[in-house]
Structure 1
Amino acid sequence: MNIKSLLLGSAAALAAVSGAQAADAIVAAEPEPMEYVRVCDAFGTGYFYIPGTETCLKIGGFIRVQGSFGRDEVTSRFDARDFGNQATSDWDMFSRAYISFDAKSDTEYGTLTGFFAAEFNADNDTDVGDSFIDVDEAYIQLGGFKAGFFYSWWDKGLNGETDSLGNFTEFNSLAYLYDGGTFQAGVSVDELEGTSTKDNGVGIAGIVSATLGGVSFDLLGGFDTELEEGAIRALLSADLGPGVFQVAGIWASNPNAYWERSEWTVAASYRWNVNDKLAITPGAQYFGNLSEGSLTDFGSNDAWRVGGTVDYKITEGLATRLSVQYEDQDDGDDEVFGFLRLQRDF
């Protein structure tokens, strides 16, 4: 075998080996392009697109630590939410975590919303139910139509912590609100099961609101078909100087799911915005002809309350609130009560 034949044979062998290796090689698949979360600014700040959809989602909430004092017993579940259950002592400390999910998208019928919020409460369990998990709201909304469990228009109150302007303010409801910008009008049908000793009733509530410049006015009414009683409420809010002045009044035919404490009441507050961090809100309320625990009739005793609320923004997302209230009721003991709250919003 000459040198030429040897070289040609070696080249052929190398080509065969190279071809076999090329046939057996594994080609890696191209990676899928990564889809980063996109900001959605169509519905305000804090929303982002759920990947692969045109639905915008906003996650929010707060952590609250609060010490309450001076109220020997709670008069409603809303006092319990704000002040804690203090039936065994004159002070109480609790913590609360609140988280909400707000999903929105545009449709040919208007904005489609799905909202859910829950509270997780931690107390020392000195009374049954101190620590509990509560569905705060869960509803679907399409344009002006709303269905589910949510706060009614009776939940709206004055600035500060002095006023009390509603009883049960969350219902499973069907509601429609026409929003014309400066003018709004709405009606709701509310399930009242469990709000009184009677069964199978519903409530009907309506609202008319108007806003002009720095002045807004609400006229609200509710009728309890279980008790066949109703209540009406008016609320005026106006920008005045370095703050906001508010006044409200309620009249009820007799105790009902929307208002039960007194035949009539008037309340006022003024939120003084001292600066960007500090606000001071004095307030007062008078209750005429208290129900005194009756589910059917008002009595003849009256009560009045005065107090103040101080809000201070420590830093972005962290604030504290101090509330001190004094209440004097005919044929009853005077009370001083309130709370100190630290809250981290996100």
Structure 2
Amino acid sequence: MTIKTWLLGSAALLSTLPGARAADAVIAPEPEPVDYVRACDVYGEGFHYIPGTESCFSFNGYVRFDTIVAGNPATNLEGDEYQVSTAVRSRLNFDVREETDLGTLRSFIRLQNTNLSGSDNEVEIDQAFLQLGGLLAGYRDTMWSSGIGDIEDGLLTDTDLVVGDFNTNQINYTFAASGFSLTVGLEDDGTGDVVPDVHGKLVYLGDWGGAYLSAVYDETFNFEDARDAIGTDPFDFNGVETFPISLPGLPRVLNDGNNDAFALKGGVYLKDVLLPESQLKVEGHYAFDPTVYASIAGLATTSAFTADNPNVLNPTPGAVPIFLEWAAGAGYAQGIGKLGIAVAGQYGKTFDTQFFGALPNGQFGTFSTTGDYYAFVGNLGYKFTPNFASLAEVVYRNVDFDRIGDTDQVTGFLRFQRDF
């Protein structure tokens, strides 16, 4: 008997035995319902529901690469009168929102990393704040420079020519109705006393664009915060290099003896002014006393146009800042398909600034003077894809002090950026 015959016979015999039947079928359990991530259109594009909740989240950011150039008076390690550096920045935005009986509850965190030539690679919290209805508390752009509508308070270019642009801890409340909004808030001035800076901002937004008016009371103009390394932006006076004074107990910017300050700022922007996809903006400020809200970055280093970019010759970021008593400017941006063009200009007057240098009698000493400041910016951008673009920018800045003379600088960069 072959094995084949034996197997067939055994199978036939088993089939005749009582109770013989096929093996029970394996029954798979019913799958658990899956709560897939759903789009949340309540807050606009890019939001999704967190599974199992009524909260919506958005996650986005970008990676950019800049090649940065700064002309004289910047110098490099080889003694040339320019600096060329590169910078890589990555940014992640986390935005979580939900509706409550008291209004929208929101939390926002921005993580940012900027790797510059010869600098440490560190991640920082660029913004972090919470909102409930009209209440906002946290760390973000000061109300003085925060955006309105579709654009920032700068003049439509990447280098926005913003006066008083910095982040600070703050708490404020916004009342909104019929296109108008009024925000009042307090900002930590870093002095450690109980009195904060006080802000108020009135905004109107419409189909045609928007307008705003801001006011700030700076409880203490902190000269310590305003000081930086001198020697980075000398002026020539009678053939002698002359420097703004920045010594302990001898502030550079003169005032009337009161440390507090008050400033006003206003602007208007218009959409589709000349052609579709265009924006025009005009804005200006006036400061009754010197204040950090009336300051702009100084010349001489690449930090004059790129935030947190250190002087190659000095690890301290930035040049000596300039304090403008008043300034006015205008900017225009135009989109043409994948191409974008923007130009802006600004003119202002500095506060009395105290200098140390050669006096007309040949002796060295201190003297004060005011100066004129103006800047021009041009941008040219191109979108290769909806999420990948390049941007080229050139900036010219000049400050001219009456008794000393002027110094100017041309800066620029070429950028590639991938948004997600």
Establish whether TM, by shorter chain, passes 0.5.
yes
CA distance in 1 between partners of 2:177 and 2:339 (Å): 34
CA distance in 1 between partners of 2:382 and 2:43 (Å): 28
SS at match of 1:258: helix
2:294 alignment partner in structure 1: 259
Gap regions ≥5 residues in structure 2: 1-13, 75-80, 146-152, 222-259, 296-322, 356-367
Q: Letter of the aligned partner of 1:248 in structure 2?
A: E
Aligned match for 1:153, one of 126, 143, 163 = 143
**Conserved in 2, the CA contact under 8 Å of 1:96 and 1:122?**
yes
SS at match of 1:154: coil
Cα-to-partner distance string for 1:21-62 (whole Å, 9 max, x where unaligned): 98xx99765442222111111111111111111111110101
Cα-to-partner distance string for 1:298-346 (whole Å, 9 max, x where unaligned): 9411121123111221211111111101122213422101211111111
Q: Letter of the aligned partner of 1:302 in structure 2?
A: D
* Number of matched pairs: 309
CA distance in 2 between partners of 1:45 and 1:336 (Å): 39
Q: Letter of the aligned partner of 2:168 in structure 1?
A: F
User: Judging changes above 3 Å, is the alpha-carbon distance between structure 1 residues 29 and 189 closer, same or farther for their aligned structure 2 residues?
Assistant: same
Task: Report deviation, 1:230.
Answer: 1.9
Does residue 336 of structure 1 match 2:406? no
**Conserved in 2, the CA contact under 8 Å of 1:49 and 1:57?**
yes
**Conserved in 2, the CA contact under 8 Å of 1:144 and 1:177?**
yes
Q: Quick one: percent identity of the two aligned structures? A: 28
2:115 alignment partner in structure 1: 122
**Conserved in 2, the CA contact under 8 Å of 1:322 and 1:338?**
yes
2:307 alignment partner in structure 1: none
Q: What is the correspondence of 1:1-346 to structure 2 with a 5 Å cutoff?
A: 15=19, 29-70=29-70, 90-125=83-118, 127=119, 131-155=121-145, 156-161=153-158, 163-193=160-190, 198-200=191-193, 201-227=195-221, 228-239=260-271, 240-242=273-275, 243-260=278-295, 261-273=323-335, 275-290=336-351, 299-330=369-400, 331-346=405-420
User: Judging changes above 3 Å, is the alpha-carbon distance between structure 1 residues 27 and 307 closer, same or farther for their aligned structure 2 residues?
Assistant: closer
Task: Report deviation, 1:214.
Answer: 1.2
**Conserved in 1, the CA contact under 8 Å of 2:391 and 2:416?**
yes
User: Judging changes above 3 Å, is the alpha-carbon distance between structure 1 residues 32 and 71 closer, same or farther for their aligned structure 2 residues?
Assistant: farther
Gap regions ≥5 residues in structure 1: 1-9, 75-87
CA distance in 1 between partners of 2:82 and 2:32 (Å): 62
Cα-to-partner distance string for 1:62-112 (whole Å, 9 max, x where unaligned): 1111111115789xxxxxxxxxxxxx9612111111001111111111111
**Conserved in 2, the CA contact under 8 Å of 1:268 and 1:285?**
yes
**Conserved in 2, the CA contact under 8 Å of 1:230 and 1:258?**
no
Task: Report deviation, 1:270.
Answer: 1.3
**Conserved in 1, the CA contact under 8 Å of 2:73 and 2:409?**
no
* Structure 2 length-normalised TM: 0.67
Q: Letter of the aligned partner of 2:155 in structure 1?
A: L
**Conserved in 1, the CA contact under 8 Å of 2:283 and 2:328?**
yes
Q: Letter of the aligned partner of 2:215 in structure 1?
A: G
* Structure 1 length-normalised TM: 0.80
User: Judging changes above 3 Å, is the alpha-carbon distance between structure 1 residues 145 and 72 closer, same or farther for their aligned structure 2 residues?
Assistant: farther
Asked which structure has the greater RCO (Cα within 8 Å, sep 6+), the reply is 2
Q: Letter of the aligned partner of 1:221 in structure 2?
A: A
User: Judging changes above 3 Å, is the alpha-carbon distance between structure 1 residues 238 and 28 closer, same or farther for their aligned structure 2 residues?
Assistant: closer
CA distance in 2 between partners of 1:64 and 1:168 (Å): 21
